[in-house]
Structure 1
Amino acid sequence: MKNISVLVCLSVSSLFWSQVKKDSIRNIEKIEILVKKKLLERKADRMIFNVEASIASQGMDGSETLANVPMIRVDENLGSVSIVGKSSVNVMINGRMLNLSGQALLNYLKSIRSENIAKIEVITTPPAKYEAQGNSGLINIILKKNPNLGFSGSISSNLIQRTYSGFSDNATLSYQTEKFSSSLKLVYYDSAKRSDENYSIIGATQNYSSSVRRDMWNELTPGISMSYKISKNSEAGFEYLYAHQRSGMDIVNNTRNISPAGQEENLLTNTFHREKEPTHTASAYYDLKLDSLGKKLSILGNFYKNNSDTEVNFATQRLSDNSLQDVKTLSLVSPQIFSAQADLELPFSFGTVETGVKFNQFKNNSDLKYFNLTGTGYVSDESRANLFRYREENYAAYFSYAKNFGEHWETKAGLRYENTSAESYTPSTGSGNSYRYGQWFPSAYVSYKKDKNIFSLAYSRRINRPGMGSLNPFRWYSNPYSYSSGNPLLTPSYINNLELGYTFNNKLTTSLYYMRLKNAFGQVSFQDGLSQISTYLNYYNNNSFGLNISYTDTFFKCWESTMAVNASRQNSEIFGLDAQPQKGSSFSYSINNTFTLNKTKTLAFFLNYEQSLPSRNVNYYYHNFSDLSLGLKVSLMEKQLQINATVTNVLAQRFRGDIYFTDSVHHINNYWDGRSFRLSVNYTFGGQKKKIQKKVIRFEEKDRI
């Protein structure tokens, strides 16, 4: 009987604990449901996309994750990231501006896993705390705090097959204690693609240029970061990144030129282009908590240096007389940036005050040497050589105030002042240019939230200073007759942004916006006999009215879809250029779909499509462009191992456009090897889990390189 009693007790105990376990699991599931983050959130000055709440964004790299965010467009063909309706944006990681653009930016984003991204902030009208530089719009990727004590890390490998094969490898190793945090990162990629570019100028002189180009990139980038908690109220740290970059282009260009008299000339140019670009980036910071209420002082310093050493050899044959001209150019471009800033955050019962000061200095020295090949060897052509010196200093201060009124109203207002002095000098000609100016940049935001409805109104003023490449009169020759160069006389453009937004149930987001762009600059090409010359000019003002609508939802628990529409209307004024502005309009839409194929959500299929209908802006006309992408995602080993297979630009669309001048029309017809197959494998490992704080570092100035 005793044994039977024991067995009964054990059985009852087993049933009891089994039920307790089931109840606990149910309670945990209920808690997870209660604490599950909303996919979209609207703040007074930004929209927030919570990556963890998105089925579509699991098991992806950073660029693919960005493409899932409403209003953000990632273009693999052009190597760009943009906000729909904005002409350009800057990308930040944890509030730190990235010194990357084009393909280099996309390669960096691919080294980040969606599992390490907490949220993505879309800031269409940036507040006073951020640099006023940039033609409107910021994307801020907030990474998760490393939850692991001891060692942790990840390893990933990516294969891309276009016309040529390419790959990239990324490895991260972190070590953390309660006070000390360190991370070592290594990125290596080797890739190539084929570009087919056609540019025609039809006027009194007709010029037809066709290029087939192989673009190549090779980079090894090690980086290290460390931080130490000196006390419970203070922390210091630094990070250093070295990029050993090599790039190249092999180009075959055919140019057919017909003079006004009907005389035809044909040129055949073979170009060999190689560039070495070692880059150093260093940052150091010190944070001090002033009290237990959240008052904080942050001090940050940044340094950037780059030496771009380029050799270009091209041989041009004139078919009319079968003459051959061999040319070599050697160039060295050395930009350097230093910045220092102090920020003070002061939360009070009557609101939150933020204030700070900043100084940054830009330097750029460039030296171009031009050589003609003769019977005795290469002979320098001093008339085409170029030296350029540039120096710019910016001083800035800002103040902002934020206040919530009850549960419904959120407000924020700020004012930033920036004073700039710049000098440029060309020793070979003795010419130079200098200017000094100071500008105020106000911003204001208000939002109202009730139940499932959020209304917001935002305004900000911005400045777009010319980048170093567009200021440099340095001539980049494509053949002995044609070149592109910068313009040291360029002046900044100014942008006023006004946006009215509405969000319903954190799923439907709409925004009605107005943007006034004044004194805008861009690249312009001219034909002069056999020579095609490209330079930069301030030449237009633009008013743009637009509407963005996006809807994100999950259907049947297995299908997540995001649908977005953008429509805009522009009117432009052109000055200093013989061109007729077009009556501007645009319309585009996109549909992103992710289907979970099993109950454990470890297998998913995605199908994305976007289309831009023919549009006009300033003196440009863009033809229809569409993009279809699809792929499969697999998660194994409790999501530690992620495998993705993707096919992009299935329809192999070309980019086509027309540029209208009073005396000529320019036609563009390009294909940048957009159709590709990508296979990525990522494995993560980690130690004991515990929340560790990680410092946010900003370095906005680097984007202008």
Structure 2
Amino acid sequence: MKLKYIFIISLFSVSLSAQVNKDSIQHVEQINLLVKKKLIERKADRLIFNVEASIASQGMDASETLSNVPMLKVDDNMGSISIAGKSTVNVMINGRMLNLSGNALLNYLKSIRSENISKIEVITTPPSKYEAQGNSGLINIILKKNPNLGFSGNINSNLIQRTYSGFSSNGSLNYQTEKFSSSLKLTYYDSAKRTDENYSIIGATQNYSNSIRRDMWKELTPTLNLSYKISKNAEIGMEYIYAHQKSGMDIVNTTKNITSALQEENLLTHTFHREKLPTHTLSAYYDLKLDSLGKKLSIAGNFYKNNSDTEVNFSTRKLSDNSVQDVKTISLVSPQIFSVQGDLELPFSFGTIETGVKFNQFKNNSDLQYYNLSGGQYTPDYSRANIFEYREENYAAYFSFAKNFGKHWETKAGIRYENTNAESFTPATNSGNKYQYGQWFPSAYVSYKEDKNVFSFSYSRRINRPSMGNLNPFRWYSNPYSYYSGNPLLTPAYINNWELGYTFNNKFSASVYYLRMKNAFGQISSLDDLSQISTYLNYYNNNFWGLNASYTDTFFKFWETSISMNASLQNSSVFNIDATPQKGSSFTYSINNTLALNKNKTLVFFLNYSHSLPYKNVNSYFYAFPELTSGLKVSLMEKKLQINATVTNIFSQRYRGELYFSDNTQYMNNYWDGRSFRLSVNYTFGSGKKKISKKNINFEEKERV
């Protein structure tokens, strides 16, 4: 009888335990992840930040989450993401390049919740598998695998209060089966900000310019993702993005010009600028698993096209004689990109081989028409009109080999070859330019792990090709006298990166790096009587020595803090301009603090401070820029409803800098509406059934548009 009761009680216990596990398995898994995951990990070619292990990164969107990652800085006002020591950054989702940049990229990232992110990889020296374009690092956002089967979705709304109010909203609806996956995302934003820009050129002739500007953006962007598993080993998919964008600027500019003979002229210009930018992006892929060991073939294709239709009306009053010039410019810019690539991944017992080929083609046709208002009618001024045609083709192939030696050593090496053919033509002057070049881009990585210590070394060679805007000789007029334009004679810059890294106990990370940039280009401004002219030139070589360090830890189970710093030294040589370069230095640091105000961590306060000390680079000097950001995060309804309130740039700092030339000094003092209040409300809904994975498609070339 006693055994019978014991048997019944045992059955009841097993049943109850199974039910408890069934009801709470996801909660237990989340707790285990938070306990077991290390916050920071160092691999041979990347630094990994585990979002699930970070209190500070819970209950926010992906753009905010990136701000918590060591070495990363997200600037909403500038629409930029940067890595310490890198001039540009490309963002990937699950190893596939995101087909967006600038504000469009940040708005897309705001639609991804941190709860759906597993980890973020920071790749400061990208391997040969990726495009060699740009002095860029890579950020790879790894989403948690297996979105829910059935229906699921997300709704998010944001209020942004700067000088003007702004609003953004996005929603996604997903439907998944074992074989079929679909996702429809809709993003809308309507925002504006006030800009105060001051630029002065002081030499034999002096020019003082002040612009008060209202910048406006509207965009409605639907995105459709479809994928289907043809068989156990094969999958096809596509993504289509249509961005219906409108932007505008209302500008009041005052310019004072004093000649060497001390004659003064003052200009007052009112500008009305409107642009329509419908954009189409279509991507497709085919993945085939070749065996059960992980060998895989991937084929992907991309197509991008937009038609930027811009009208600018400006009226300039010359105060010396009270004369008025009314001008209108109409421009149509139509860039188009096509790319196709194949990648083969072959893991063997002796190591892993990756190889692939890629082709991409750029086309751009630009047409600018200039009109003067005379007698109540606009008449064309053909001497200021411009048509520009550009075509570029790139062929690439790469090979890499990775191998681990025991438990301590991890190595990887690769080589990439890229061949470029480009030509441009300007019918107005019957002039053109053709060039062809091929280059090798090697990369190598090695890491050693012993107990709590991880050492790593990496090297890569890169190329920075001019964007279409850098090359386009269009004269974009701000008044009848002043303009900026591109330069079709620009040539690429080349970059060599070396980096030595160290991580201790998955909390402290440091790296020492050296960067050599040759034939770099940038924008140069000069004066010609009343005219302020800006264009792009190849004009400097640069050597950078830098140190990054960060420490992240959790104290008393409710307080997470992250401290990071970057210091660098540089020297430069210049050509094509008359300037004396300076030995430069920089030092920036940040302290991020997140405190959970209750036991369940559903009410969180954060206070973040960063400070860039004055720094020099080539022939420029930039003033210190401190920034303080603070806010609250509230999670309700089992974290399905999340409310965040944030105040950025509390001290309302301005960007100030100086550029030194032999015959003049140039000063800037700008405010880009950095102080803002942001209120975000997010609600997640959907099935909790079994999950499957989602694929993102690579399209790295799009950024150059």
Normalised by the size of structure 2, how large is the TM-score?
0.96
Cα shift readout 1:55-82 (whole Å, capped 9, x = no counterpart): 1011111111110000001122322110
Partner of residue 97, structure 2 = 97
Q: Is the 8 A contact 1:94 1:141 kept in 2?
A: yes
- Taking a change above 3 Å as real, the CA distance of residues 291 and 99 of structure 1, as seen in their structure-2 partners, is closer
Instruction: Give how far 1:18 is off.
Output: 12
- What's 1:137 paired with? 137
1:116 CA displacement: 1.8
Partner of residue 50, structure 1: 50
2:647 aligned with 1:647, yes or no? Answer: yes
Partner letter of residue 400 of structure 1?
S
> What does 1:575-590 align with in structure 2 at a 5 Å threshold?
575-590=575-590
Q: Could you tell me which amino acid in structure 1 is paired with residue 237 of structure 2?
A: G
Aligned to 1:287: 287
1:151-300 equivalent positions in 2, closer than 5 A: 151-300=151-300
* CA deviation string 1:400-428 (max 9, x = no partner): 00000000000000000000000000011
> C-alpha distance in 2, partners of 1:23/1:683?
27
Pair 1:534 & 2:538 matched: no
* Higher alpha-carbon deviation: 474-483 or 26-35: 26-35
Q: What CA distance in whole angstroms lies between the structure 2 residues aligned with 1:29 and 1:110?
A: 26
In the alignment, which residue of structure 2 is the partner of 1:476? 476
* Alpha-carbon RMSD: 2.2
Distance in 2 (CA, whole Å) between partners of 1:585 and 1:689 is 54
Matches of 1:511 and 1:175 in 2, distance apart? 43
Q: Which amino acid aligns with 2:326?
A: D
Cα distance between partner residues in 2 of 1:226 and 1:378: 49
Q: Within 2, Cα distance between the matches of 1:29 and 1:220? A: 38
- 1:647 to partner: Cα distance: 0.3
Please state how far the C-alpha of 1:88 moved relative to its aligned partner.
1.8
2:460 aligns with 460
1:382 is paired with a residue whose SS is: coil
Deviations 1:379-402 (A, max 9, x none): 000000000000000000000000
Distance 2:339 2:16 in 1: 61
What are the residue-to-residue correspondences of 1:488-507 with 2, within 5 Å?
488-507=488-507
What is the identity, as a one-letter code, of the residue corresponding to 2:251? I
Q: Residue type of the partner of 2:76?
A: E
| Deviation (angstroms), 1:482 | 0.2
1:631 matched residue in structure 2: 631
Query: Where do 1:70-149 residues align within 5 Å?
Result: 70-149=70-149
Say if 1:99 and 1:32 are closer, same or farther in 2 by CA, change over 3 A: closer
Structure 1: distance between partners of 2:456 and 2:565: 19
Distance 1:501 1:324, change over 3 A: same
| Contact persistence 1:94–1:697 (CA under 8 A) | no
Cα distance in 2 for residues equivalent to 1:333 and 1:207? 31
Contact 1:455/1:501 (CA < 8 Å) preserved in 2?
A: yes
Note the alpha carbon deviations across 1:368-388, whole angstroms, 9 max, x for none. 000000014000000000000
Do the aligned residues in 1 keep the contact of 2:552 with 2:563 (CA within 8 Å)? yes
Contact 1:136 1:495 in 2 (8 A): no
How many angstroms apart in 2 are the aligned matches of 1:219 and 1:31? Answer: 39
For the residue of structure 2 that corresponds to 1:479, the secondary structure is coil
Instruction: Check whether the contact 2:628–2:651 (CA below 8 A) recurs between aligned residues.
Output: yes
Q: Once the 2 structures are TM-superposed, how far is the Cα of residue 108 of structure 1 from its aligned partner? A: 2.0
Match of 1:301 in 2: 301
Match of 1:68 in 2: 68
Deviation at 1:675, TM superposition (A): 0.4
Q: Distance in 1 between matches of 2:458 and 2:427?
A: 46
Is the CA contact 2:35–2:53 (under 8 Å) kept in the aligned structure 1? no
* Correspondence for 2:511: 511
Residue 297 of structure 1 aligns with an amino acid whose one-letter code is L
Tell me the distance in 1 between the aligned counterparts of 2:687 and 2:77.
Answer: 39
- Deviation, 1:32, is 1.5
| Number of residue pairs the alignment of both structures matches | 700
Conserved 8 A contact 1:97-1:702: no
Whole-angstrom CA distance in 1 between matches of 2:365 and 2:99: 18
Query: Which deviates further from its counterpart, 133-142 or 643-652?
Result: 133-142
User: Could you tell me which amino acid in structure 2 is paired with residue 443 of structure 1?
Assistant: S
Aligned to 1:386: 386
Cα distance in 1 between the residues matched to 2:399 and 2:169: 43
Q: Answer yes or no: is the 8 Å Cα contact 2:147–2:694 preserved in 1.
A: no
Q: Give the conservation status (yes or no) of the 8 Å contact 1:473–1:486.
A: yes
**Counterpart of 1:293 in 2: which secondary structure?**
coil
1:99 deviation in Å? Answer: 3.7
Q: What are the residue-to-residue correspondences of 1:655-674 with 2, within 5 Å? A: 655-674=655-674
Q: Give 1:416's aligned residue.
A: 416
State the match for 2:446 in structure 1: 446
- How far the C-alpha of 1:101 sits from its partner, in A, is 3.0
Which amino acid in structure 1 is aligned with residue 565 of structure 2? V
Asked whether the 8 Å contact 2:97–2:696 carries over to 1, the reply is no
Change (3 A) 1:23 1:491: same
Task: Give the drift of 1:624.
Answer: 0.5
Identity of aligned residues (%): 76
> Using the alignment, how far apart are the partners of 1:94 and 1:196 within structure 2?
39
Q: What is residue 550 of structure 2 aligned with on the other side?
A: 550
Aligned in 2, Cα 1:651/1:51: closer, same or farther, shift over 3 Å?
same
Matched, 1:573 2:567: no
Answer yes or no: is the 8 Å Cα contact 2:60–2:113 preserved in 1. Answer: yes
2:244 alignment partner AA? H
2:618 maps to 618
1:73–1:82 CA contact under 8 A, matched in 2: yes
1:161 Cα deviation after fit = 0.3
TM-superposed deviation, 1:352:
0.2
Distance (Å, rounded) in 1 between the aligned partners of 2:339 and 2:445: 28
Comparing 434-443 with 20-29, greater Cα deviation is found at 20-29
Q: Which runs of 5+ in 1 are unaligned?
A: none
* Contact 1:216 1:248 survives alignment (8 Å): yes
Moved more, 427-436 or 110-119: 110-119
Structure 1 Cα separation of the partners of residues 403 and 354 of structure 2 = 12
- Tell me the distance in 1 between the aligned counterparts of 2:691 and 2:176: 10
The answer to whether 1:591 aligns with 2:603 is no
Change (3 A) 1:600 1:21: farther
Relative to 1, partners in 2 of residues 1:478 and 1:504: Cα closer, same or farther, differing over 3 Å? Answer: same
The secondary structure found in structure 1 opposite 2:66 is helix
Q: Deviations over 1:521-564 (max 9, x none)?
A: 00010011100000000000000000000001001100011100
Matched, 1:695 2:700: no
For 2:259, the aligned partner's letter is: S
CA-to-partner distance for each residue in 1:449-475, whole Å, 9 max, x for gaps?
A: 010000000000000000000000011
Answer whether contact 1:90 1:134 (CA < 8 A) is retained.
no
Structure 1 position 333 matched with structure 2 position 333 = yes
Give the letter aligned to residue 295 of structure 1. K
In 1, distance between residues paired with 2:30 and 2:433? Answer: 67
Question: Which ranges in structure 2 are unaligned for 5 or more consecutive residues?
Answer: none
- Counterpart of 1:635, as a letter, is S
1:688 to partner: Cα distance = 3.5
* Aligned-pair CA distance for 1:120: 1.0
C-alpha distance in structure 2 between counterparts of 1:354 and 1:430, whole Å: 45
Write the deviation string for residues 177-230 of structure 1: whole angstroms up to 9, x where unpaired: 000000000000000000000000000000000000000000000010100000
> Structure 2: which amino acid aligns with 1:682?
N
Give the aligned residue type for 1:614.
P
Deviates more, 1:22-31 or 1:685-694: 22-31
Residues 1:183 and 1:16: Cα distance change in structure 2 (over 3 Å): closer
2: CA distance between counterparts of 1:366 and 1:286?
34
AA partner of residue 74 (structure 2):
V
CA contact (8 A) 1:458 1:498 kept: yes
Matched residue type, 2:687 = G
Answer yes or no: is the 8 Å Cα contact 1:147–1:689 preserved in 2: no
Using a 3 Å threshold, how does the CA distance of structure 1 residues 9 and 293 change in structure 2: closer, same or farther? closer
